[in-house]
Amino acid sequence: MPGRARRRHPRVLRRPGLRPGGFIRHGATRRPASGATIGRPHAGPRFRARYRRQRERCLCNRSGCHNLAAGKAEQQPISMTRSLDGVELRRSKACNREGRLHYGGVSATRRVGVAVVGLGNAGQGHIAAIENCPECSVVAGVEPDAEVARRASIPIRDFTEVLRDDATDVVAFCLPPGGRAELVTRALRSGKHVVVEKPPAQDVSELDGLTATARAAERFAAVMFQHRFCLPDQLTAVDPSVLADRFAGAIGSLVVSRPRVDTYYELGWRSHAAVAIGGVTAHLGVHYLDLACQILGPIADAEVLSRVEAAPGVDSELVGHIRFVSGAVLNVTVTSRSKHRCEHLAIFGSNDRVEIRDGACTGEFDGSAITRAARPAVELRAEVYRRLSVAVRDGSDLGVIALSRSRFVTDALARLSGAAAIATGVDSAW
């Protein structure tokens, strides 16, 4: 009623800077207004002092670390790091004192900007995933093929221009693996975070080089192995080396059938082994092979029992056997020559069991049943971008999407291919 004072609930706290309606009620699930920070509902002197200290901590935005407390910006010590490709990376000494590197630099009030390099099938999948991730948005695309670029629904820009654009926080590389590393390195040294499509690298040495560049540039490097989210939290929360020890001596079976006609591998980049780095195993069977490596750990040796090629060095069917350092063994069958689709991985340890069939996971781990329902691929890809966006904003760990966790599957692919890929360099169109 007009003129009547509004009654305030004793457990309601109005935080500084909140617009009307941006309150937090104890025990309620109502979300605060945009930009509000959820904290404890009590406003006693101890809480106010703690909140004041939190405001004085160093946060990161696009221009580097600064202090949000009024009048204290000049007192915040700033240390300048190396300059990479003309981009100065700034880091606050306060961050170092807290033992945490802020790889981010993106304000929490805006979306993380992603540029997609390569707008083929993989690139379209990334765009759809980003559109399903509210934390990020597509800011540009890079595509040298004029016809493909003409059909694109996003702004097309030059690769060098994208690297210089402050609106681009992440560069997604949806290119064939052969020769891609040079472009990924340029992006990292320009201060951009990166996402690379599978397979992540030609060999282990190339992968190690990319992860080392990311560490030196203090940027995040993620990989689009979205099927890692098929694994239940009980498994991903365990240290990889501990998980491999639990499955020491396990036996496993991997069967992947993804129908493709042989002409699929006879056209374009897929027909060139040095660019494609393989066929059905490297591009379709690799997801479940990666899941096996996440559980069983490093490779001891691998043997190819039979192999059918659609083009020289490009397999359309492979049967192999992998032995892991832990003593676990895995039989591998991957084919594109059957009309039936199937993706199945089963691993049996002495006490634990994991089975993943067409994206759904069941089993038993540490005496408890584990399960995870299948999810659409676009949701899994969107989860990769959500995790990366969170990491870019607050400097948290990438977890299962980290490129560094692809070392074992890269080793397995190199061993099953039987020959190291030939570096071809970058296409002149780039």
Q: What is the pLDDT of residues 362-400, one digit of tens each?
A: 999 999 999 999 999 999 999 999 999 999 999 999 999
Residue 41 or 374, more confident = 374
Return the residue matching tokens 């930009």. Answer: 35
Of 190 and 95, the one with more pLDDT: 190
Q: Cα-Cα-Cα-Cα dihedral of 119, 124, 126, 132, to 10°?
A: 140
- The mean of the pLDDT values for the chain is 81
Question: CA 267, CA 66: separation in Å to the nearest integer?
Answer: 52
Q: Once rounded to an integer, what is the mean pLDDT over residues 69-93?
A: 35
What are the backbone angles phi and psi of residue 24, rounded to the nearest 5°? -125, 125
**For residue 354, what are the contacts with CB-CB under 8 A and spacing of at least 6?**
231, 235, 295, 345, 346, 347, 361, 363, 365, 370
pLDDT beyond 60 at 261: yes
Structure-token pair, residue 245: 């020890």
In this predicted structure, the answer to whether residue 314 has a pLDDT above a threshold of 90 is: yes
Confidence of residue 105 (pLDDT cuts 50, 70, 90): low
Residue 4 confidence class, pLDDT cut points 50, 70, 90: low
Model pLDDT, residue 108: 61
pLDDT at 80 over 60: no
Q: Phi first, then psi: what are they for 295, rounded to 5°? A: -90, -40
pLDDT reading at 61 higher than 80 = no
Q: Distance between CA atoms of 371 and 390, rounded to whole angstroms?
A: 26
Phi (first) and psi of residue 355, to 5 degrees: -135, 125
pLDDT for res 422: 35
Is residue 172 scored above 70 in pLDDT?
yes
What per-residue confidence (pLDDT) applies to 242? Answer: 94
- Please tell me the distance from the alpha carbon of residue 52 to that of residue 223, in angstroms, as a whole number: 39
pLDDT above 70 for 419:
no
Q: Look at residue 54 in the predicted model and tell me its pLDDT.
A: 54
Q: What is the pLDDT of residues 334-356, one digit of tens each?
A: 999 999 999 999 999 999 999 99
Does residue 29 register a pLDDT over 70? no
Band the pLDDT of 266: cuts 50, 70, 90. Answer: confident
Distance set, CA 226 to CA 134, 188, 245, 350, 386 (Å): 17, 22, 24, 28, 12
Contact yes or no for 141/157 (Cβ under 8 A)? yes
